[in-house]
Amino acid sequence: MLSPYRVYRYDQMQTSAVTAGTHAVLIGAQNGLFPDLGFNVEGEMGGLWAGEKKVCDGFFFAIDDVPLTQADACEIDPAATAFHYRMQEQELHVVRRQCIPDGVNGCVIELTIENSRNAPRMVEVSFTVRTDILTVAAARGEDSMELGRDVGEYDEKTQAFYARDSRNPWHAVWGAELKNRVLQADLPHSVYGFGNTLGKGVNGRLFYRIRVNAGAQATMRLFVAGGYASRSRAEDALAYLRENALELIEQKQARLAKLMHSSSAALPEDSLERSWNWTKIYGEWLTRELPRGGVGLCTDLPEHPSLFGEGFAQAMSALLPLGGGMRVQEMLRTLVRVSEEAQLAPGRLAKRISRSGRIRQIGGVKESALFVSLVHHVLRWTGDEQFAGDMLPMTGLCISYLRRATRNFDDIREDIVRETALALRGQAYILRMTGEDDSMCLKELEKVHVPEQEKPGEHAPLAQLAHWHGTQDHVEQMIGCLCMMAKAGAPGMPGAMKAEENGVLLSARSAAGFVWPMTQSLFGFEPDAAKKMIAFRPHTPIGWDGWKLENVAIGSAVLSFESERISPSQCRYTIRCSEPGWKVTLREKGEEKTIELGCEMTLTMGD
């Protein structure tokens, strides 16, 4: 079902691999190992993270006393990551598949062993977890916290290992399905065949034996979970995974399959198509649920796993064309709630929030302006009047804060002029949508003079160049920039745009520099869901026979757009809409006209 999005890797496998869920994320390498990586806490940003707590540096296997030190292939799909090992001398093929189910602070590992012999056999499995239980704040000496050494013990009754930080109430657990009984358990000084990673962790090793028939396969499931305040909660988590693992994995696969169906692109340029479609996946991988309810978007992985953060508005806006309108509304509600509960000054918002829901950094005038403009942007995609009414009190406070900070918009800092104009324009839209008077905002907007955008220099970031070329209708040059962006990310992870900061594998805001030129200047549409209007000005690059973008959620409708070249200078564009009542605005020969869309419309337009 997810096969169109499956990627196989055979080279450059030392690059990073991510397996993510709503509550946890696992970061290692595409060769199946867990190297010390990262800069925020040097060498400690990989491994399994549950919320804001790191659980372990990784887990390691040996099959019939042979350590699985180097995968022959890495298989990446939206729901799981798998590592293939050809054990030719042992006549075995081993697949280690890892998945993080939704709502779980842990990982499910499916170990499948295929026997190539003509006789059944018993295979011994050694499973070692190297813990490293910490938080970034404690590792950096913040919050008056100090890390202790991890201690661990095996419990025969539950057939599992338990570990905790000796100075903090942070617990981890690992084991297998109860049908796979533990033969032996120990605490080796180093991981057999691998050595130890950095940190104050402990190694807990479990031995199992599994029967594999001649020419057949056998599978066992293992589990690692953590971040719990007590051992009893860790026991409950393991029991839950043991009982529900298969159902949880199937639910995640079904949810992601539905996500793949939305805003699905088919393009002649393979790198652009894969990047666009995988960007939806990374938006999902970077979304986290908070313990007390609500959701947020991670700044990046693995360096800054906090929520929101620098460029949060840019990052969240990129989810809108990808079917994420309702999710972004939920994120903004969360941001407002957390800010209000912290009793910040009127019009101020949290800028960076920990995964536990604590405010790490408070935003200033720029963040307040960006918040208002993002609410406006979201409303143009969702047309949700209830959301507009819910956000109006906070957007009003943000505008008042901007008014005070800029002396009634007479003294605006140069670095926030554009954001201030967007905020005033956005607030006027929100006021109109809620039936309020927008005249003051429009009058104040006239006082804000935004300088014209200059052409970026030749060494400017590719995203900036792509945006500028798009606004100038230089579609071929824009596509050239986007192709370079698509090929500059992490090998084996299409759509993982190269981030500005060293060590960053996935960046929430870097995707926006790819998504918006595609949306606005290739597919060429801009919605106003409240008015049921679509401004349509598409392009088809020279050499392309056409393109498709299907199942785009705008308001209560689902729209699809298709291009088909009919001559060197003209294309036939088809728009399909799931409901009546929508209109399309076009610009022809310098004049704008509006057409009733109906359920389907075909237009012939020149490039």
Residues 83-132: tens digit of each pLDDT: 999 999 999 999 999 999 999 999 999 999 999 999 999 999 999 999 99
Does position 436 have pLDDT exceeding 70, yes or no? yes
Residue 208 lies in a domain: yes
Over the stretch 145-200, which tens digit does the pLDDT of each residue have? 889 999 999 999 999 999 999 999 999 999 999 999 999 999 999 999 999 999 99
Confidence of residue 607 (pLDDT cuts 50, 70, 90): confident
Q: What is the pLDDT of residue 1?
A: 42
What number of H helices and E strands is found in the chain? 12, 33
Q: What is the pLDDT of residue 587?
A: 84
Q: What is the pLDDT of residue 145?
A: 82
Highest mean pLDDT among 72-86, 137-151, 455-469: 72-86
CATH number, position 204: 2.70.98.40
Q: What is the pLDDT of residue 143?
A: 73
Flag the least confident range among 43-47, 362-366, 502-506.
502-506
Residue 192 lies in a domain: yes
Confidence of residue 8 (pLDDT cuts 50, 70, 90): very high
CATH number, position 584: 2.60.420.10
Q: How many CA atoms lie within 13 A of 332 on its CB side?
A: 32
Residue 346 lies in a domain: no
Highest mean pLDDT among 281-295, 498-512, 572-586: 572-586
Residue at a domain's end among 258, 281, 298: 258
Residue at a domain's end among 197, 231, 258: 258
Antiparallel, parallel or unpaired: β 546-554 and 570-577: unpaired
Q: Token pair 């298989």 is at which residue? A: 75
Give the tokens for residue 536.
């349509």
Residue at a domain's end among 258, 280, 309: 258
Average pLDDT estimate for 466-484: 95
Residue 367 lies in a domain: no
Residue 357 lies in a domain: no
Confidence of residue 350 (pLDDT cuts 50, 70, 90): very high
Does position 530 have pLDDT exceeding 60, yes or no? yes
Largest CA distance in the chain: 85
Q: What is the pLDDT of residue 585?
A: 96
**What value does the mean pLDDT of the chain take?**
94
Contact 559, 576 (CB under 8 A): yes
Domain carrying residue 64:
3-258
Residue 368 lies in a domain: no
Q: What is the pLDDT of residue 96?
A: 98
Q: What is the pLDDT of residue 452?
A: 85
Does position 484 have pLDDT exceeding 80, yes or no? yes
Average pLDDT estimate for 33-55: 93
Contact 548, 560 (CB under 8 A): yes
Confidence of residue 409 (pLDDT cuts 50, 70, 90): very high
Confidence of residue 355 (pLDDT cuts 50, 70, 90): confident
Q: To the nearest 10°, report the CA torsion of 333, 310, 421, 342.
A: 40
Average pLDDT estimate for 417-444: 97
Measured distance CA(207)–CA(399) in Å, rounded: 62
Measured distance CA(17)–CA(142) in Å, rounded: 29
Residue 395 lies in a domain: no
Q: What is the pLDDT of residue 192?
A: 95
Average pLDDT estimate for 332-349: 97
Give the tokens for residue 597.
């869309």
In degrees and rounded to multiples of 5, residue 210 shows phi and psi of: -130, 135
Specify the number of domains making up the chain: 2
Measured distance CA(575)–CA(72) in Å, rounded: 45
Flag the least confident range among 231-240, 524-533, 592-601.
592-601
Confidence of residue 306 (pLDDT cuts 50, 70, 90): confident
Task: Mention every residue, 6+ apart, whose C-beta is less than 8 A from residue 400.
Answer: 346, 347
Task: Mention every residue, 6+ apart, whose C-beta is less than 8 A from residue 385.
Answer: 433, 434, 530
Residue 342 lies in a domain: no
